[in-house]
């Protein structure tokens, strides 16, 4: 049936008739989004009212299945828009994003607090044992019911109104927090005036700094930006200590100056604590963790503190080694945070007889993309066919059709790999369309977005081994979406608990360094020769080098996240986020030579949305799982073992949230793991 849209609405936002079923990005403009959202929000509420006010008795089909299919128009316009807001934003998009934040929160509250809708859902839920539902349908029913309760469906009218107001306020703060970080990153540009300050920098980094300067109108200059793909290697190789200090301080102070995020955190933390109390929880952490594998803040802190003590002890030994190296150079300064990367790279070069530049020459972006694809082909039988000339949100974006073993269309995959000032920092996977089989069904459209430094035209795109791991990581998320094989949209792909969703991504990283992939895809950009075995062995031997630093950076961030969200309403009131962060760091004994990976004012995982709040630990929790899971292939004696790959696909990559994560892992591996494999992997034993 053809939908008739109001004259103010651009149908291209909803009727995706581009190649491979993609939106026609050349058919709409930013000005089309506001009327598009207005239409889609109303259409969704009309669908909800029809379900809630259905005169027939509530059934699984007319209530739960109807809810699963409702809101398709809103999903379409929102996924296009929020992809643009993260990957290619501008002033108009940001203004609309600020306007939409409270509207979207209010919209969600209208649905989750719809009394008639909850009564129908509850009626079906109370009959669940007599409905003969299969395991997936039963889980979907339970998740819908719990979702309503956790969103305030059982509160009285007064408390529901208060909760809706809190959600709207928080949504506005989240948007502001993310936009402040983006503004700081986009505005910072440190031109390098002295040629001597380029000494020691790899050629590929110098090329990227030239490209960054030219994009900002400084042709034939070089610039440091706060893109991780520039700032981190700059801090690793820059010989000018004062310049390192200046750039490091700019990097770690994002969100603290003109674009002040501390004020927003001072509002966010108490509102989250108040929300938790309204819903009957001791803290926001208790609320967030209830439906995860970890279950409780105590379980999370037990893991974090176990790693913290081991990481801190190792970091202290690493700091002594760096101090000795500084003394050997005839200098008398202490190891400062802006020194660590520089001297640890020197030490790694000395200890393992290679440097990052030497290794980077073998890691070309296109070849690593091919390696990620080929690994998926060997494990899961899928293949990738690149499509040229498809209009997308930026000329740099690439798109592939994904085919199953029989050559049938399975999914669409896009890769947006290069940093730009219109893109937020970091790397992430997201979906324009999620897989499901309900109604007409849908095939997935999955996106990977990254921030690699773009070299001048004609130069090879070389990435570090850490960046290559990031690519494999995000592609693991993408596979979780593309291989999804469930009936219901709400449990498809990555719609899982936060401490389970990182398993498919972190596990996939292991395949980057299997010898078969390295010999075929890690080839020198000039000679085409595979990376020498002795060089790669040095890299693998050095895998846990600097692991004290890495784990202190990460675990301190996770502990601070948990501490903020373990506060009850009274403790969170009138909080000074900067003082509180410092208090926690002092309590845990944070080494003065290292800073948090994500300090509070730029902790986007936690404060630019709800996703990783009281959840940053999840990377480590999933790390326990992924370390153990890859052992299954090692024990089989083949990283591409067919039997293990089939079990991996069935129980991990294809099941989404259709079954309980613990049951899924046990079905794959036979038992839940202990942290031992993680500690060994991270060099902390």
- Over residues 9-19, the mean pLDDT reads 97
Q: Could you give the CA distance from residue 393 to residue 85 in angstroms, rounded to a whole number?
A: 11
Of 195, 209, 206, 205, nearest to 240 (Cα)?
195
399 three-class SS: strand
Alpha-carbon gap, residue 550 to 209, rounded angstroms: 25
Give CA–CA dist 664/653, Å, rounded: 10
HSE at residue 464, side-chain half, CA atoms within 13 A, is 18
pLDDT in tens, 571-593: 999 999 999 999 999 999 999 99
Model pLDDT for residues 113-122, shown as the tens digit of each residue: 999 999 999 9
Tell me which H or E stretch contains 452: strand 445-452
Please tell me the pTM assigned to this model. 0.92
Are the C-beta atoms of 367 and 523 separated by less than 8 Å?
A: yes
H helix count then E strand count, the chain: 28, 7
Arithmetic mean of pLDDT, 515-541: 94
Rounded percentage of the chain residues whose pLDDT exceeds 90: 93
State yes or no: pLDDT of 208 exceeds 70: yes
**pLDDT-based confidence at residue 543 (cuts at 50, 70, 90):** confident
User: Which residues are known to be catalytic?
Assistant: 474
**CB–CB of 552/595 below 8 Å?**
no
> Is the pLDDT confidence value at 1 over 60?
no
Return d(Cα 146, Cα 400) in angstroms, integer. Answer: 37
- Tell me the pLDDT band of 271, cut-offs 50, 70 and 90: very high
Predicted local distance difference test score (pLDDT) of residue 678:
86
Tens of pLDDT along 358-403?
A: 999 999 999 999 999 999 999 999 999 999 999 999 999 999 999 9
Alpha-carbon distance of 492 to 497, in angstroms, equals 12
In this prediction, residue 304 has a pLDDT band, given cuts at 50, 70 and 90, of: very high
Q: Is the pLDDT of residue 2 over 80?
A: no
**Ranges of each domain in the chain:** 11-182, 188-252, 262-354+545-681
User: How much is the mean pLDDT over the chain?
Assistant: 96
Residue 215: burial class (beta carbons within 10 Å; 0-12, 13-18, 19+)? middle
User: Do 11-182 and 262-354+545-681 come out as alike in CATH topology?
Assistant: yes
Q: Averaged over 28-45, what is the pLDDT?
A: 98
| Size of the chain, expressed as the number of residues it contains | 685
> What pLDDT shows up at residue 355?
84
pLDDT at residue number 499? 92
pLDDT band at 312 (very low <50, low <70, confident <90, very high): very high
Q: Are 578 and 265 in contact (CB under 8 A)?
A: no
pLDDT at 681: 84
Domain 11-182, what fold? Answer: 1.10.1370
DSSP annotation of 3: P
Q: Which pLDDT score, from 0 to 100, does residue 563 have?
A: 98
Query: Band of the pLDDT at 3, cuts 50, 70, 90?
Result: confident
Cα(64)–Cα(438) distance, integer angstroms: 11
446-463 pLDDT per residue, tens: 999 999 999 988 899 999
* Rounded alpha-carbon distances, angstroms, from residue 82 to 33, 76, 197, 360, 480: 11, 10, 39, 33, 20
Annotate 106-137 with three-state secondary structure: HHHHHHHCCHHHHHHHHHHHHCHHHCCCCHHH
Tell me which of 3.30.420.10, 1.10.3720.10, 1.10.1370.10, 3.90.960.10 is the CATH number of domain 262-354+545-681: 1.10.1370.10
pLDDT digits (tens, 9 = 90+) for 588-644: 999 999 999 999 999 999 999 998 999 999 999 999 999 999 999 999 999 999 999
Q: Among 90-94, 291-295, 487-491, which is the least confidently predicted range?
A: 291-295
Mean pLDDT of 167-174: 97
Q: What is the pLDDT of residues 405-450, one digit of tens each?
A: 999 999 999 999 999 999 998 999 999 999 999 999 999 999 999 9
Distance CA 612, CA 288 (A): 9
Query: At residue 93, does pLDDT exceed 60?
Result: yes
What whole-number distance in Å separates Cα of residue 664 and Cα of residue 306? Answer: 26
Taking only the tens place, the pLDDT of each residue in 669-682 is: 999 998 888 888 88
Distance CA 175, CA 95 (A): 10
Q: Are residues 265 and 601 in contact, defined by beta-carbon separation less than 8 angstroms?
A: yes
Please tell me the predicted confidence (pLDDT) of residue 676. Answer: 86
Give the DSSP per-residue string, 485-550: --S-GGGSTT-S-HHHHHHHHHHHHGGGGSHHHHHHH-B-TTT-PBPPHHHHHHHHHTTTTTHHHH
**Looking at the predicted structure, is the pLDDT value of residue 192 above 90?**
yes
């Amino acid at each position: 049936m053809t939908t008739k849209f109001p004259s103010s609405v651009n149908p291209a936002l909803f009727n995706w008739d581009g190649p491979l079923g993609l939106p026609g990005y050349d058919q709409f403009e930013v000005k089309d989004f506001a009327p598009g959202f207005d239409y889609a929000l109303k259409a969704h509420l009309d669908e909800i009212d029809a379900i809630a006010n259905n005169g027939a008795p509530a059934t699984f089909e007319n209530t739960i299945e109807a809810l699963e299919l409702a809101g398709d128009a809103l999903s379409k316009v929102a996924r296009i828009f929020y992809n643009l807001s993260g990957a290619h934003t501008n002033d108009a998009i940001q203004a609309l994003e600020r306007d939409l934040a409270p509207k979207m929160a209010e919209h969600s509250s209208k649905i989750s607090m719809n009394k008639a809708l909850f009564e129908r859902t509850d009626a079906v839920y109370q009959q669940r044992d007599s409905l003969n539902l299969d395991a997936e349908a039963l889980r979907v029913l339970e998740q819908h019911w719990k979702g309503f309760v956790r969103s305030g469906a059982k509160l009285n009218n007064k408390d529901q109104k208060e909760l809706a107001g809190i959600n709207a306020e928080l949504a506005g703060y989240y948007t502001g927090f993310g936009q402040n970080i983006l503004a700081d990153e986009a505005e910072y540009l440190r031109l390098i005036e002295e040629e001597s300050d380029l000494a020691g920098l790899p050629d590929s980094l110098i090329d990227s700094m030239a490209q960054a300067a030219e994009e900002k109108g400084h042709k034939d200059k070089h610039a440091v930006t706060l893109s991780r793909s520039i700032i981190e290697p700059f801090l690793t190789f820059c010989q000018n200590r004062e310049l390192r200090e200046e750039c490091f301080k700019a990097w770690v102070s994002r969100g603290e100056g003109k674009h002040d995020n501390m004020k927003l955190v001072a509002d966010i933390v108490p509102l989250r604590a108040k929300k938790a109390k309204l819903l009957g929880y001791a803290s926001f952490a208790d609320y967030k963790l209830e439906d995860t594998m970890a279950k409780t803040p105590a379980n999370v802190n037990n893991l974090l503190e176990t790693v913290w003590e081991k990481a801190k002890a190792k970091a202290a030994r690493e700091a002594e080694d760096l101090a000795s190296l500084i003394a050997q150079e005839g200098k008398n300064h202490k190891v400062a945070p802006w020194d660590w990367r520089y001297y640890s790279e020197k030490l790694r070069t000395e200890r393992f007889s290679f440097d990052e530049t030497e290794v980077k020459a073998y890691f070309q972006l296109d070849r690593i993309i091919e390696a990620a694809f080929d690994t998926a082909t060997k494990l899961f039988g899928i293949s990738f066919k690149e499509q040229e000339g498809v209009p997308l949100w930026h000329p740099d974006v690439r798109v592939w059709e994904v085919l199953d073993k029989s050559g049938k269309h399975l999914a669409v995959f896009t890769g947006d790999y290069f940093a730009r000032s219109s893109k937020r920092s970091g790397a992430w996977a997201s979906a324009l369309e999620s897989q499901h089989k309900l109604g007409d069904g849908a095939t997935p459209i999955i996106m990977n977005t990254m921030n690699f430094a773009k070299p001048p035209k004609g130069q090879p795109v070389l990435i570090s081994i850490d960046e290559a791991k990031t690519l494999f990581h995000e592609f693991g998320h993408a596979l979780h979406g593309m291989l999804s094989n469930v009936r219901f949209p709400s449990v498809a792909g990555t719609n899982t608990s936060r401490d389970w969703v990182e398993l498919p991504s972190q596990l996939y990283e292991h395949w980057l360094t299997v010898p078969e992939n390295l010999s075929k895809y890690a080839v020198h950009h000039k000679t085409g020769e595979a990376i020498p075995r002795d060089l790669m062995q040095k890299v693998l031997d050095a895998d846990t080098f600097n692991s004290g630093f890495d784990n202190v950076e990460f675990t301190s961030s996770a502990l601070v996240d948990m501490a903020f969200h373990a506060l009850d309403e009274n403790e969170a009131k009138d909080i000074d986020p900067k003082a509180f962060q410092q208090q926690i760091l002092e309590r845990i004994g944070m080494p003065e030579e290292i800073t948090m990976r994500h300090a509070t004012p730029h902790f986007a995982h936690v404060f630019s949305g709800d996703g990783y709040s009281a959840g940053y630990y999840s990377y480590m929790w999933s790390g326990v799982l992924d370390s153990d899971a890859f052992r299954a292939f090692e024990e089989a004696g083949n990283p591409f073992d067919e039997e293990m790959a089939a079990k991996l696909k069935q129980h991990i990559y294809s099941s989404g949230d259709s079954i309980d994560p613990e049951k899924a892992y046990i079905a794959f591996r036979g038992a839940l793991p202990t942290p031992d494999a993680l500690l060994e992997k991270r060099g902390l034993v």
